[in-house]
Amino acid sequence: MNVWSAVGAVLLGLRVAGELWLEALNRRHFKRLAAGEKAPSANSTRVVPGSRALDYALARCRFRQATVAYETLLLVGLLWSGVLPRAWSVWQQIFGTGPLADSLFPWCVFALVSVAWWPWLWYERFDLEERFGFNTTRPATWWSDRFKGLVLAAGLGIPVIAAIIHLIRQAGPWWWVWGWTGAVAFALILGWLAPTWILPWFHRFDPLPEGALRERLQQLAARMDFPLRDIQVMDGSRRTRHSNAFFTGWGRARRVVLYDTLLNQLGPDELEAVVAHEMGHARLGHLWQLWTLTAIGWGLGFAVAGWIVQQPDFYRTFGFSEPHPAVAVLLLGLWAGPAGWWLLPWIHAWARRCEFQADAFAVRALGSVEPLQRALERLHRDNLADVPSHPWYRFWHESHPTLPERITALTANARAGAKR
């Protein structure tokens, strides 16, 4: 076993051990709650033993444990079984070498890995989510989404892979600088195009009908001096009973999107509070902070990749006789997930901080705590999300604070505002 193999085994082994430990910890935590014990947090919500929310939390925990084991076995089988070098040799014999053939090989492997997850996605949608009343997806819609996703991945992914391979060949040791710059620019362009060209391929978007609610949200945007091009309703109910709201687009092209399920769950006051929260993310710079952090993370990742692709032993570790840019893209893509897992706690800690700040912004914008608190309580209850995970699991995996934590912070902010 050489250094690369040892590092890979340790990295992957620690990752799977950590994931399974967190899931086991979380599962024991849910079982204690089911037995009527108090959650280990001063801000814990009240949990009713035998509740659907608790059953849902346990079911999702068991599902995640199974998928962690599956993902690890799949990755180990791909990297250490020798199947990839044999496939690469056969591919070159059939298709030869060249920009298109070299770009298609890693994309095809990534696509097959994606397809290998389809049975799990089917089970999650038509068994787990179905059991708890959330699934509204028809099988035809599910299959359509899968194939549309493959077509989109081909249209976007193959040119990106081809560009990276070209840079590795032509730009020398500093190819990663150009690759990083291009990736950031591509992501920004994609974020600008997505609302108009990509999302409508999967969902239907209709303008929020004229009326009191639309006028209210437009007045909110005007009070906040918030550039808002449109308010749209997305047909989320075609796939799920879960609900959400989000912004898309940049600058003056910003649109607020409301799930149609959200319109059925919340009243006008609560919807205004949810939109004010989303505006808070934009006005407080969270979106640009996220892009900045993402760009820095990608820069570090590309820099490491720039060094790795020059190490012949890296290729030999996984059965490839000699370095090749297409093989580099493939191996680095397969290792991106296990490597990125170690960054999750820091990303999620930042995200939870942003949620608290956006909540406080919404309260200041509306001058009241009650609408946002009612909205949060209703959404947590209807989405069966009112069972707190174990603190260690939350630290690593959850991007939103618990409902009790958010309400405690809202109350504290309201009291501080009243004193001022």
Instruction: List, as residue ranges, the binding site for Zn(2+).
Output: 277, 281, 355
Grouping H, G, I as helix, E, B as strand and the rest as coil, residue 406 is helix
Q: Is 210 a catalytic residue?
A: no
What does the angle CA 175 – CA 180 – CA 183 come to, to the nearest 5 degrees? 125
Instruction: For 99-235, list the strands marked E by DSSP.
Output: 205-207, 230-234
Q: How far is CA 395 from CA 47, 401, 407, in A?
A: 20, 10, 19
Report CA torsion sign: 6, 12, 15, 17. Answer: negative
Closest CA to 242 of 128, 379, 111, 114: 379
Annotation: binding site:
277, 281, 355
| Alpha-carbon span 285 to 354, nearest angstrom | 10
Q: Under 8 Å CB-to-CB from 112, ≥6 apart: which residues?
A: none
| Alpha-carbon span 166 to 363, nearest angstrom | 51
| Alpha-carbon span 162 to 105, nearest angstrom | 11
Q: Under 8 Å CB-to-CB from 296, ≥6 apart: which residues?
A: none
* Residues paired with residue 232 on neighbouring β-strands, in sequence order: 207, 257
Q: Is 102 a catalytic residue?
A: no
Selecting among 19, 270, 272, 359, the annotated active-site residue is: 359
Selecting among 102, 129, 272, 278, the annotated active-site residue is: 278
Q: How far is CA 77 from CA 10, 72, 74, 350, 406, in A?
A: 16, 8, 5, 35, 43
| Alpha-carbon span 190 to 284, nearest angstrom | 23
Phi then psi for 128, rounded to 5 degrees?
-60, -55
The catalytic residues are: 278, 359
